[in-house]
Structure 1
Amino acid sequence: MNPLYAERMKTARRSVIRELLKLTEQPNIISFAGGLPDPDTFPREFLAQVAADEIRNNPGKTLQYTTTEGKLPLREPLSRWFAEDGMRFSPDQILITSASQQGLDLIAKVFLDPGDVVLVELPTYIGAIQAFEAMQARLVGVELEDDGMDLDRLSDAIAAARRAGQTPKLIYVVPDFQNPSGVTWSEEKRRGLVEIASREDLVIVEDMPYRKLRFTGEPVPSVASLDPEGRVVVLFTFSKVLAAGLRLGALAGPREILEKVVTMKQATDLCTSSLTQRLAVRFFQDYDVEGHMRTIRDHYRMKCHAMLRALDRYMPRREGISWTKPEGGLFLWARFPDQLDTERMLPRALDHKVAYVIGAPFFVDGTGHNTMRLSFSSATTEQLEEGVRRLGQVVEEELASLRLSQRA
């Protein structure tokens, strides 16, 4: 049957993270691997009540097809929510998606031909890698510094692609509490990014799954709010602020792009679930949204600080070992000496009943073997303490093993 498969299947890869998560399901494992929101943040009782009410009393809007663009009573409050961040998207510039991963898929389908170039952060979100590679795009990584992408290298990478006869089209970024690194872009870098995209006539895809989860520090303007020309497409998800299982998100951008994205979505699923959209409508209409967001931010602030304290206490003090200190989101990023391979170390960690995500799959250039992503979102504070203690022991043992092997 192999000759029947599409050409793109020759390069399609399963998510390394999803495969690794299967290993963490062993009993007693403390997992920092999955970037899962804490179920304790889901407004379960509210969702149960409004779901029952909507299904019983509003079946025509809840159980029926809806428009491809999505329900207007949902796009309207989203427009206002975006406006709080300086993003002026009217409701007709917003498309409701089946979570933000569908937004990535649709953008890839609209813009990318085989061989086209997408510029991404190094490291970058692995779901974006999958979506772009599925369209047989060429991904070019640009080093991520402490305050965002190295813009000089970005310009060089665009120029190199053009010299090679390739067509750069998109710059994909996660500027707030990036997945996987936890890094937040500075305003200077964001303005510089917009200038480069304008000069080079490229589209910026600003993925903001965590922007509403800032729990310390001062807000930085969104990239879209700094865009005077309409060349930024924004991806948003309800997974982190309402409930991940609703699979609900939004894509916002210029009308010209939205029209084409709607066409692609009609060929994909016709429309996003009416039921989950109605639950989100009721969330905005009937729930204390701002109070809910304060609670979530406080929740993740406590967990992040617990992990950072544990890393200070238990991680070996060695040259080359460092980690980010995120101001929001669900992740932090750890680096180790070059000779330490986190994939090779993972079985040792699992023996110690602790799990993490290896860093290499987030790098499109084959590097990152000495890095790992740690999620503080779904573990308890007790698990964060004990899990980091175990992880520190694992790193000590791995470094000792490496020293012995070098002497042999």
Structure 2
Amino acid sequence: MSAQDIRYGDLSIGELHGSLSDPLLDTMNFLNEVTFRYPDAISFAPGRPYDGFFDVEQVFAYLHEYVDHLAAGGNSAGQIRDAIFQYGPTAGRIQDLIADSLRVDEDIDVPPESIVVTVGCQEAMFLVLRALIAGPDDALLVSSPCYVGMTGAARMLDIEPTAVEEREDGLSIADLEAAIEAERARGRRPRAFYVVPDHSNPTGTTMPEPTRHELLDLARRQDILILEDSPYRLLGPRPHLPTLKSLDRDRRVVHLGSFSKTAFPGARVGFAVADQLVTDAAGGAGPLAAELAKIKSMVTVNTSAVSQAVVAGMLLSCQGRVSELNAKTAEYYATAMRSTLRELERCFPADRREALGVRWNAPSGGFFLSMRVPFLAGNAALARSAEEFGVIWTPMSYFYPDGGGERALRLSVSYLSEDEITEGILRLARFIEAESAAETEL
């Protein structure tokens, strides 16, 4: 073989997993690229927590709090060193503290062994999907629009989710039941339904309490599990509606949690509450969480012991009442949401928005709201908005697994100051007016 016959080990995209060709996996990269390309633009795109209340010294204080807790519990210096520096159990080290917090803050009463601590909530999604979707005939249903982290995880695991499109007023239980029965008619086995009940990403909607009870009743009748993802619920006004898991009496809900929004995102600590019993071949039974831990052992081995220690210290500092620890932050987000809605009303009075065909929802809390516009709000429009008007948003089409949302956009209010919101909405209004005029001329 001659030297010119020797080829590099380069690859074509067609040789790699099909998910890498899916536009879905490019969405976050595109948004980051747009944001960095136009640093002077005001960005309503990232769902980042506000970091104005973060204090570097808190990290050390929380770490010391956890170390003191271990010492008070009778752990030796060697055991404490091991708890901070070593790998630790795959399922996590702080399930007892998470269980205590869920009990006092969320009225979720589960044993610690039903919890697995994960690298952010994103890993929890991967673990649950890998465990529940056993083959091509198993169906995952998702509310649509849907958080791209779930649909992206499904795509990477070769799972094609079945979308149940929400109506103007939110999820219809009748629509979900029809989708479940349609899957069974196709010879498939509906396994789980994924939903964000509180201040959802991307729309910001919250599921009413009667609908929560109806959903649990449907899960019992149709023999499916509910994957409840609620990272934003403690960032809304009190009193909070009950979680699906707190209402669950039949172990139908797998609760996916995260401390990224309530503690700080850099910790990358999430968890899954999976108390469903799994029976083995010998007739023994254990929690689904133990099966998730088996998968985790081959993915990330375990979650950072230092990150767990810091989160544990945070939980100890507030006696598990994260909602109280986050009261000031939640009020900041509520103020940001009110400011955004006020500026939208000011820039688009009723007669003008009716003439344009513009409308938006009014979430009670969380990070996001959605807005309908009279033009295609895709990547090309986003680039024009950033370049010519200095404002960035997220196309809602990113969040529709089966297509849709082409004339809608998502606004995130979590990371902006009052002045930035005022100026940003003014720029957005100018962009919408200009884009609408251009659309009319076509």
**TM-score normalised over the length of structure 1:** 0.92
Partner of 2:149: 127
Structure 1 residues 305-351: Cα deviation after superposition (integer angstroms, max 9, x where no partner): 111111111235235321121122111111123x4434442122112
Partner of 1:82: 102
Partner of 1:301: 334
Partner of 1:375: 412
Q: Report the more deviating stretch, 372-381 or 136-145.
A: 136-145
Gap change, CA 1:294 and 1:167, over 3 Å in 2: same
Structure 1 residues 82-138: Cα deviation after superposition (integer angstroms, max 9, x where no partner): 223222212111111111000001111111233532111110101000011212212
Does 1:399 pair with 2:419? Answer: no
Q: What are the residue-to-residue correspondences of 1:123-272 with 2, within 5 Å?
A: 123-145=145-167, 147-215=169-237, 218-256=239-277, 257-272=288-303
Alignment check: 8 A CA contact 1:147 1:185 kept: no
Structure 1 stretches of 4+ moved >6 Å: 52-55
Does 1:14 pair with 2:47? Answer: no
Instruction: Give the number of the structure whose alpha-carbon radius of gyration is greater.
Output: 2
Does 1:65 pair with 2:102? Answer: no
Structure 1 residues 336-380: Cα deviation after superposition (integer angstroms, max 9, x where no partner): 23x443444212211211100100010011111011110001111
SS of 2:142's partner is: strand
Give the whole-Å Cα distance in 2 for the aligned partners of 1:360 and 1:400: 22
Partner of 1:353: 390
Partner of 1:32: 44
Q: Report the more deviating stretch, 236-245 or 116-125.
A: 116-125
CA positional deviation for 1:391: 0.2
Give the whole-Å Cα distance in 2 for the aligned partners of 1:232 and 1:393: 45
CA positional deviation for 1:230: 0.4
Q: Which amino acid aligns with 1:361?
A: Y
Alignment check: 8 A CA contact 2:91 2:290 kept: no
Alignment check: 8 A CA contact 2:116 2:293 kept: yes
CA positional deviation for 1:17: 2.8
Partner of 1:279: 310
Alignment check: 8 A CA contact 1:115 1:136 kept: no
Gap change, CA 1:108 and 1:184, over 3 Å in 2: same
Q: Report the more deviating stretch, 151-160 or 84-93.
A: 84-93
CA positional deviation for 1:147: 4.8
Alignment check: 8 A CA contact 1:343 1:369 kept: no
SS of 1:41's partner is: coil
Alignment check: 8 A CA contact 1:12 1:133 kept: no
Q: Report the more deviating stretch, 191-200 or 124-133.
A: 191-200
Give the whole-Å Cα distance in 2 for the aligned partners of 1:209 and 1:54: 24
Gap change, CA 1:205 and 1:43, over 3 Å in 2: farther
Give the whole-Å Cα distance in 1 for the aligned partners of 2:240 and 2:290: 31
Structure 1 residues 233-257: Cα deviation after superposition (integer angstroms, max 9, x where no partner): 0011111011101101111021532
- Coordinate RMSD, CA, aligned: 2.3
Give the whole-Å Cα distance in 1 for the aligned partners of 2:170 and 2:109: 24
Q: Report the more deviating stretch, 12-21 or 59-68.
A: 12-21
Alignment check: 8 A CA contact 1:340 1:398 kept: no
Work out the percentage of aligned pairs sharing the same amino acid: 28
Give the whole-Å Cα distance in 2 for the aligned partners of 1:51 and 1:150: 45
Gap change, CA 1:302 and 1:89, over 3 Å in 2: same
Partner of 1:311: 344
SS of 1:145's partner is: coil
SS of 1:219's partner is: coil
SS of 1:379's partner is: coil
Q: Report the more deviating stretch, 74-83 or 194-203.
A: 74-83
Partner of 1:335: 372
Give the whole-Å Cα distance in 1 for the aligned partners of 2:127 and 2:438: 47
Give the whole-Å Cα distance in 1 for the aligned partners of 2:229 and 2:214: 17
Q: Which amino acid aligns with 1:345?
A: A
Gap change, CA 1:368 and 1:85, over 3 Å in 2: same
Q: Which amino acid aligns with 2:125?
A: L
CA positional deviation for 1:264: 0.6
Give the whole-Å Cα distance in 2 for the aligned partners of 1:21 and 1:215: 30
Gap change, CA 1:4 and 1:124, over 3 Å in 2: closer
CA positional deviation for 1:78: 1.8
Give the whole-Å Cα distance in 1 for the aligned partners of 2:169 and 2:124: 26
Alignment check: 8 A CA contact 1:15 1:126 kept: no
